[in-house]
């Protein structure tokens, strides 16, 4: 009997095999989902004019949570960088806004500049923390956040440890201020999520996932490990800085203990675990779920925190893929596609010719 290795492959057989398969990124479902997202963004822009100040403020808080979750997921879910210190850049974004307004910068311009400044600060910080691995990296980022909080607390012009208000926004009426803050938050969410989306769809996204799976192997095939991790680290810092500045505009008051508090990292971890680590849609779904839980059960005090912890443990043990990760794995749904899918067009028509016969084993789409 002739073995598989001894069989020859003719050009006609190879061409026939290729004809049975199709590599696809966009599907009718993903195209429809993308169109729906665009329409939803347009509709959200009219919220202040239609739904009033209270709903506008609530949606602003939700959008801030989405920004934070997507930034943390880009670090941990796609890069393997599990940070518990992203509150460092949330605080820098908030206090950077205060500092710039004290220098005469218009408050909404100051928010954008403070977000960029958080990314700039993250660049030299990355030279230190990105040398750490796994648990060391997580603890290192937490230490950095505590150091930033202590330094800010020593500056009396920034309120010291007692907190400070963003008084420059008082020039706007309450409704106008809330509308401007909401529109800036919506625009920031769209820009940051689009940046993460297109980053992950390209070569850099593939490199990040290779680093997450095996850093040494990725380096051995030419992936620039440190440069790739630094790019996503700085982007996540700028995104968290924007979230901090927007939180300040939404609440008008901050304290170092709250804005630099580790509870922010706990929230981000919870949201991403519930929504789906390493998926693009998961953090958005998780943020919505967390916001609903927060508004429903926050009045229960300590029991609310116990419930959050128990829920996170339950998802980690029994639903490790999260809500969207489980749905995606079971039904192969791809709403906002990052990778490609290999489809079997007509597997029954394939004949086991030479080395291409192994393709017959494929029956379901494979994601890159």
pLDDT of 131 higher than 70: yes
pLDDT above 80 for 6: no
Q: What is the CATH topology of the domain spanning 26-339?
A: ABC transporter involved in vitamin B12 uptake, BtuC (1.10.3470)
Residues 104-110 have a mean pLDDT of 91
Q: Is 50 exceeded by the pLDDT of residue 5?
A: no
The whole-chain average pLDDT of the chain stands at 82
164 backbone dihedrals φ, ψ, rounded to 5°:
-155, 155
DSSP code string of 287-317: HHHHHHHHHHHGGGTHHHHHHHHHHHHHHHH
Domain ranges for the chain, please list them. Answer: 26-339
Cβ neighbours of 130 (radius 10 Å): 16
pLDDT confidence of residue 132: 86
pLDDT at residue 108 above 70? Answer: yes
Mean pLDDT for 84-96 is 92
**What integer is the mean pLDDT of 128-152?**
90
Select the highest-mean-pLDDT range: 16-25, 302-311, 356-365: 302-311
Please, is 229 exposed, middle or buried when counting C-beta atoms within 10 Å of its C-beta (0-12, 13-18, 19+)? buried
Between 304 and 167, where is the model more confident? 167
> Helix, strand, or coil here: 74?
helix
The residues facing 24 across adjacent strands are 341
- The tokens 């689009």 sit on which residue? 194
Give strand pairing partners of 253.
Answer: 165
What pLDDT does residue 4 have? 41
User: If pLDDT is split at 50, 70 and 90, which confidence band does 98 have?
Assistant: very high
Query: What does pTM read for this prediction?
Result: 0.84
The least confident of 22-36, 163-177, 268-282, 302-316 is 22-36
What is the arithmetic mean of pLDDT over 198-214?
Answer: 83
Asked if 246 and 60 touch (Cβ cutoff 8 Å), the reply is yes
More confident residue, 202 or 40: 40
- Is the pLDDT at 175 greater than 80, yes or no? yes
- The pLDDT, as a whole number, for residue 245 is 94
pLDDT of residue 215 exceeding 60, the answer is yes
Q: Round to whole Å and give the CA distance between 115 and 120.
A: 9
pLDDT at 167 over 80: yes
Task: Determine the Cα angle at 359 with ends 353 and 363, to 5°.
Answer: 135
């Amino acid at each position: 009997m002739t073995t598989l290795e001894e069989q020859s492959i003719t050009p006609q057989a190879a061409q026939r095999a290729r004809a049975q398969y199709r590599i696809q990124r966009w599907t009718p479902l993903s195209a429809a989902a993308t169109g729906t997202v665009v329409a939803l963004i347009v509709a959200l822009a009219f919220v202040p004019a239609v739904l009033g100040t209270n709903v506008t403020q609530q949606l602003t808080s939700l959008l801030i949570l989405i920004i934070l979750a997507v930034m943390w997921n880009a670090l941990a879910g796609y890069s393997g960088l599990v940070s518990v210190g992203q509150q460092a850049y949330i605080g820098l974004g908030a206090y950077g806004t205060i500092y710039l307004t004290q220098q005469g910068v218009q408050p909404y311009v100051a928010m954008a500049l403070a977000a960029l400044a958080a990314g700039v600060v993250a660049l030299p910080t990355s030279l230190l923390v990105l040398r750490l691995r796994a648990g060391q990296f997580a603890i290192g980022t937490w230490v950095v956040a505590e150091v930033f909080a202590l330094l800010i607390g020593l500056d009396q012009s920034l309120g010291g440890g007692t907190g400070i208000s963003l008084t420059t926004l008082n020039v706007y009426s309450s409704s106008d201020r809330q509308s401007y803050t909401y529109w800036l938050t919506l625009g920031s969410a769209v820009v940051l999520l689009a940046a993460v989306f297109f980053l992950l769809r390209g070569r850099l996204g593939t490199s990040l996932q290779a680093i997450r799976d095996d850093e040494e192997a990725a380096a051995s095939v030419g992936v620039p490990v440190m440069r790739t991790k630094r790019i996503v680290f700085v982007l996540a810092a700028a995104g968290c800085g924007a979230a901090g500045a927007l939180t300040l505009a939404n609440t008008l008051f901050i304290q170092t203990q709250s804005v630099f508090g580790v509870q922010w990292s706990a929230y981000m971890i919870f949201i991403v675990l519930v929504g789906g680590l390493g998926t693009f849609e998961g953090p958005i779904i998780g943020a919505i779920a967390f916001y609903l839980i927060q508004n429903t059960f926050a009045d229960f005090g300590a029991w609310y925190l116990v419930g959050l912890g128990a829920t996170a443990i339950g998802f980690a043990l029994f639903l490790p893929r999260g809500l969207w990760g489980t749905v995606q794995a079971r039904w192969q749904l791809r709403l906002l596609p990052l990778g490609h899918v290999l489809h079997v067009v007509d597997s029954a028509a394939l004949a086991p010719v030479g080395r291409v016969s192994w393709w017959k084993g494929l029956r379901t789409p494979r994601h890159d």
